[in-house]
Structure 1
Amino acid sequence: MPQSGRQGQDLFPAGAGALDGRALPRGSRIGLLGGSFDPPHAGHLHLSREALKRFGLDRVVWLVSPGNPLKPNPPAPLADRMAVARAMIDHPRITVSDFEARAGTRYTAETLARLQHLFPRVQFTWLMGADNLAQFHRWDNWQGILQAVPLGILARPGLRTAARSSPAARIYRAARIPAQASHRLPSMCPPAWCFVNMPMTDLSSTAIRAAGHWATGPKT
């Protein structure tokens, strides 16, 4: 297993065009959790810890996006979201990155293509909650994402039925692997996806914003 770095350290440092892969040894199993993280919260940490265990990952990287094309309102400034994410990470194998902002990629499919070009010997797995799977068919080039990397789906109670009956789940029903084989997911050839049930906090970024605890950034 690759050596653990400093908590929150970016595995994709500045100068994306010059990356040589030293931070990601050959064969590394890296889970990518993308999103606005507006704001980051304990639910993201819980999902990441579970992903490390259930999918046998070496690291989980939070890809904090500059913005979400599916959301009408802009998020808090990227620097604020990155700072809060770094401050709250409490696990040596969970890191945070602003790779998308530096690489200039807008959509997940573009980001994955860039990362796979830079790190051809790394096994990437895209991570998401069941709520994202339910509307995954709305993502840009969503089938290209499924053809590029395995998908690890982590489901909290209340969202499982909608996710399992989603267009993506129905179309790629034959590519689903059983939860009992979840550790095999990162090394499988796509399309491959695994749906893992687990208890989860009800905390969400949307609920935090609605409660007024996060408007344009952290309260001071």
Structure 2
Amino acid sequence: MKTQTRPGRKQRRRYVGLLGGSFNPAHDGHLHISKEALKRLHLNEVWWLVSPQNPLKDRAGMAPLEDRMASAKAVSAGDRRIKPTDIELRLGTTFTAETLRKLVRRHPNLRFVWLMGSDNLIQIPRWRDWNKIFMLVPIAVFTRPTYDSKALSGKAAQRYRRYRLPLSAVGRLARSRPPVWTFVNFRRHPASATAIRDGETG
């Protein structure tokens, strides 16, 4: 996913949301949050970073990467702005901070925004070099109602509380210099990968 620059012509800056995860499988909830991010953050694209293997998740029950990529492509097929990718496999990275560092270096004409649910804001202090994530890119945290209160009172939110943009300024997030983050409260989609794997419909 390299950007091309025509000789003698300055390339216009583009804003790209990054939604990482196992996508085991991809579902309409991933699509919903991506479309909300495109609209609210004024992004040009959202890349789905389909992880070869999440270091915090058990390999048991994890479908092969090619199957998860296929499900991501099928779910996102209706919107060309949403691009599933196995770029972590191609970059040879496992941890988010390392992936972001390489992407920022590789794509100087792109401005990335990390997208995640409030459940991940709770556990991000367990991620390797998690403070570097806040320093590398703006972060948009999307509501997951049973996690929101704990997330906003947690270690990461408290450490970076003075860098939080109000929801009224969410449209400026992608164009702001990190560290900066915001919390996006919106109507969530009921789909869940766990429910889908368990054969549930809700």
Q: TM-score, normalised by structure 1?
A: 0.84
The whole-number CA distance in structure 1 between the counterparts of 2:199 and 2:128 is: 30
Identity %: 48
* Number of the residue aligned with 2:186: 198
**Number of corresponding residues:** 194
1:177 paired with 2:165, answer yes
* Partner SS, residue 149 of structure 2: helix
Q: CA deviation at 1:121?
A: 2.2
2:68 to 69, 81, 84: 81
| Residue type at the aligned position of 2:151 | A
Q: Which ranges of 4 or more aligned residues in structure 1 deviate by more than 4 Å?
A: none
CA distance in structure 1 between the partners assigned to 2:111 and 2:72 by the alignment = 24
Q: Following the alignment from structure 2 to structure 1, what is the Cα–Cα distance between the partners of residues 146 and 39?
A: 22
Aligned counterpart for 1:101 among listed residues 73, 77, 89: 89
Asked if residue 69 in structure 1 is aligned to residue 69 in structure 2, the reply is no
1:10-89 mapped onto 2 (5 Å cutoff):
12=1, 19=2, 21-22=3-4, 25-74=11-60, 75-89=62-76
Normalised by the length of structure 2, the TM-score is 0.91
Q: Which runs of 5+ in 2 are unaligned?
A: 6-10
Residues 103-135 of structure 1: CA distance to partner in whole angstroms, max 9, x if unpaired?
A: 111111111111111111211000001111111
Q: For residues 86 and 121 of structure 1, what CA distance do their matches in structure 2 show?
A: 25
CA–CA distance in 1 between the matches of 2:150 and 2:59?
Answer: 25
CA deviation map 1:39-68 (0-9, x unaligned): 101100000000111111110110101000
Which one of the candidate residues 158, 168, 174 is aligned to 2:156?
Answer: 168
Q: Is the contact between residue 156 and residue 198 of structure 1 (CA under 8 Å) also seen in structure 2?
A: no
